[in-house]
Structure 1
Amino acid sequence: MLTKEKLLESIRDFPTEFSIDDLVERLIFVQKVENGIAQGERGEVYTTEELKGKLAKWLR
């Protein structure tokens, strides 16, 4: 979940002027990264071999 601290940190990194679209895009990115980190910490990840197996049907 995106915290107020992460939100403020993201806004601080922006230039003085920016569009709402840029802000929303950045916040979505930050939230997806946070979600990925949390999934990794919970062990919800695939090994390289598992991923290759899943991708094999798409790469034929």
Structure 2
Amino acid sequence: MNKNRVIETLESLPDEFETETLIEKLLFIEKVEKGIKDVREGKTISLQEAKSQFETKWSKEK
């Protein structure tokens, strides 16, 4: 994240807002930007692999 992104986000808010609102928006933007970066770098898995990992994890926790 860069300063310009923070300023843009801050300017998009009304004059009065809760601090949590700004923090939530910035965290959301950061996560989306990380996801986009991961896709560009090929750090993804197929839907089938994700389902398999999910099923494996949750079946062990029962």
Instruction: Spell out the pairing of 1:1-60 with structure 2 (5 A cutoff).
Output: 2-57=1-56, 58=58
State the Cα distance separating 1:11 from its structure 2 match. Answer: 1.1
- Output the TM-score relative to the length of structure 1: 0.82
- Higher normalized contact order (CA 8 Å, seq sep 6+, divided by chain length): 1
**Which 5+ residue runs of structure 1 have no aligned equivalent?**
none
The residue type equivalent to 2:44 in the other structure is V
Structure with bigger gyration radius: 2
Pairwise CA RMSD of aligned residues? 1.6
Tell me how many residue pairs correspond in the alignment: 59
* Divergent runs of 4+, >6 A: none
Q: Percent identity?
A: 31
**Which 5+ residue runs of structure 2 have no aligned equivalent?**
none
Name the structure where helix makes up a greater proportion of residues.
2
- Output the TM-score relative to the length of structure 2: 0.80
